[in-house]
């Protein structure tokens, strides 16, 4: 085990990315991992460590993730979705050939990033500084600008073709929920127990 790497990984996770993780579910980890986790967990901040959830079987997994969001196969979920490849469409990446617009949007992006960086630095330097709406407005402008720039800098993916990623670049997940049969009912009528 490379402990220097583990320490660096933990430090980077705690310092730079903790707000991005809602929960990390580790399902059916090998026994060796449990021993390793006992060494890693004390290195983590308790609020970060609490975001890691371990499940040994599907019943424990269902307490963390709703069955409607889990596939039927392997996880005893209710999602009946099956993978189907959607081939690329002719011309779906035509915007990537427009290098003039791409460069204009990248320049616009750099200006917004510099403004956001300056607003953030002002906030960090003065403990009593109350960030104005300016920083929030710049952040919103960066998000909106990313959506406009995306077709010129990123190729469309399977997720775009499936409709998971829309024009706003945000995921829109759908589930094909299997209806469970209830043993207490037969043709809509309750059975006597």
Name the residue ranges covered by the structural domains of the chain.
3-75, 94-162
pLDDT value of position 188: 38
Contacts 24+ apart (CB under 8 A), 8-17: 10/40, 10/43, 10/44, 13/44, 13/48, 14/44, 14/45, 14/48
List of the chain residues with pLDDT < 50: 182-193
d(CA 24, CA 37): 13
Is residue 30 a contact partner of residue 59, using CB atoms and an 8 Å limit?
Answer: no
Is residue 129 a contact partner of residue 121, using CB atoms and an 8 Å limit?
Answer: no
Is residue 139 a contact partner of residue 120, using CB atoms and an 8 Å limit?
Answer: no
pLDDT value of position 181: 54
d(CA 169, CA 109): 17
Q: What are phi and psi of 176, to 5 degrees?
A: -100, 90
* Percent of the chain residues topping a pLDDT of 70: 85
């Amino acid at each position: 085990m490379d402990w220097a790497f583990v320490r660096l990984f933990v430090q980077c996770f705690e310092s730079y990315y903790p707000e991005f993780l809602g929960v990390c579910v580790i399902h059916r980890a090998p026994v060796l991992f449990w021993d390793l986790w006992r060494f890693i967990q004390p290195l983590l901040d308790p609020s970060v460590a609490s975001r890691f959830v371990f499940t040994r079987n599907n019943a424990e997994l269902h307490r963390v993730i709703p069955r409607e969001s889990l596939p039927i196969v392997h996880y005893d979920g209710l999602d009946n979705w099956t993978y189907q490849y959607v081939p690329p469409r002719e011309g779906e990446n035509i915007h990537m050939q427009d290098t003039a617009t791409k460069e204009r949007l990248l320049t616009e992006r750099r200006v917004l990033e510099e403004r956001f960086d300056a607003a953030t630095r002002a906030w960090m330097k003065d403990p009593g500084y109350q960030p104005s709406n300016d920083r929030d407005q710049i952040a919103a402008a960066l998000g909106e600008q990313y959506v406009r720039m995306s077709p010129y800098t990123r190729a469309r993916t399977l997720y775009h073709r499936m409709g998971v990623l829309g024009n706003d670049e945000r995921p829109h997940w759908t589930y094909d929920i299997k209806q469970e049969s209830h043993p207490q009912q037969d043709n809509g009528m309750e059975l006597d127990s």
